[in-house]
Amino acid sequence: MTPPPSRRQPATHNSRMDDIVRQAIAKWPHVPNCFGWLGLDARGNWYMRDDQAQAAGPFAGPGAAPAGASRGSLLKHDKLVDFIQRNYESDAQGQWFFQNGPQRVYVELEATPLIWRVDGAPDFAVTAHTGQRARAQRCVVDEHGRVYLDTDAGFGLVHTLDMEQAADAIEQGLWVPAELPARELPARFGYVRSPQSLQKT
């Protein structure tokens, strides 16, 4: 299978965005953006990163602190997590953010901006960690055997707990994977793993 063409992730319009958030944006349109304070791991979990966590190193990748010291605190409050996920989208540069009232809180990604849960046969329905349903358009496998899906809602990694369902979909020929190195995926699919790092360049 030919690898998918390189493309930038377009800015998304999140129809689920809370009305109170839209009103805050209109009322205070020039609030400075926030970087480094929120992270999303490869299993779709959110982390709040205080000054101490940020000082310990990047959220993920080279330089991240051992034992998760730079990850911050796992968010467990259901209503807060739901609020973040309803107001989560990307800008024109492929940086993903949580629109917290009038302020954009840019998200550090361990892997991809979306994490997919996959139902079993026969439909293999795909749902993002945000609860958004999506339709798979392309399948990618990296050098570590991780499976990714490019969908009508964006690009993301299949959750580790759903690899069996993904393997079944591949074996049945419903998804035909292209092999791509993990390091090429952000540029190929137009997303930024660390918006904070771009502020330092």
* Co-location of 126 and 173 in the same domain: yes
Q: What is the CATH number of the domain that holds 44?
A: 3.10.540.10
Q: Quick check: is 184 in a domain? A: yes
Query: Does residue 6 lie within any of the structural domains?
Result: no
Q: Is residue 7 part of a domain?
A: no
DSSP designation for 184: G
The Cα diameter of the chain in Å comes to 52
Is the same domain home to 194 and 139? Answer: no
Same domain flag for 29 and 96: yes
Together in a domain, 182 and 127: yes
Residues 18, 86: contact at Cβ < 8 Å? Answer: yes
Same domain for 82 and 130? no
Domain count, the chain: 2
Give the domain extent around 63.
Answer: 19-111+190-198
Q: What percent of the chain is predicted at pLDDT more than 70? A: 84
10 Å CB burial of residue 65 (0-12, 13-18, 19+) is: middle
Pair 194, 184 in one domain: no
What tokens appear for 115 in the block?
């994490």
**Phi, psi (5° rounding) for residue 4?**
-65, 155
Residues 194, 106: one domain? Answer: yes
pTM of the predicted model as reported, rounded to 2 decimal places: 0.85
Over residues 143-177, the pLDDT tens digits come to 999 999 999 999 999 999 999 999 999 999 999 99
Both 92 and 121 in one domain: the answer is: no
pLDDT band at 8 (very low <50, low <70, confident <90, very high): very low
Both 67 and 102 in one domain: the answer is yes
Same domain as 57, residue 32: yes
Q: What is the overall mean pLDDT for the chain?
A: 89
What integer pLDDT is reported at residue 68 of this predicted model?
Answer: 85
Q: Do residues 67 and 149 both lie within one domain?
A: no
Predicted local distance difference test score (pLDDT) of residue 11: 39
In a domain, 168, yes or no: yes
Q: Which of 20, 16, 40, 44 is nearest to 116 (CA)?
A: 44
Residue 173 lies inside a defined structural domain of this protein: yes
Q: Which range among 17-26, 112-121, 186-195 shows the weakest confidence by mean pLDDT?
A: 17-26
Task: Please say if the pLDDT value at position 82 is more than 50.
Answer: yes
Per-residue pLDDT averaged across 12-18, rounded? 55
Same domain assignment for residues 25 and 105: yes
pLDDT, position 16: 65
- State mean pLDDT over 29-44: 90
| Residue 101 pLDDT | 86
88-90, strands of its sheet edge to edge: 73-74, 46-48, 34-40, 103-109, 96-100, 88-90
Whether 10 shows a pLDDT value over 60: the answer reads no
With respect to residue 10, please indicate whether it lies within any of the assigned structural domains: no
- What is the per-residue pLDDT for 67? 80
Quick check: is 11 in a domain? Answer: no
10 Å CB burial of residue 142 (0-12, 13-18, 19+) is middle
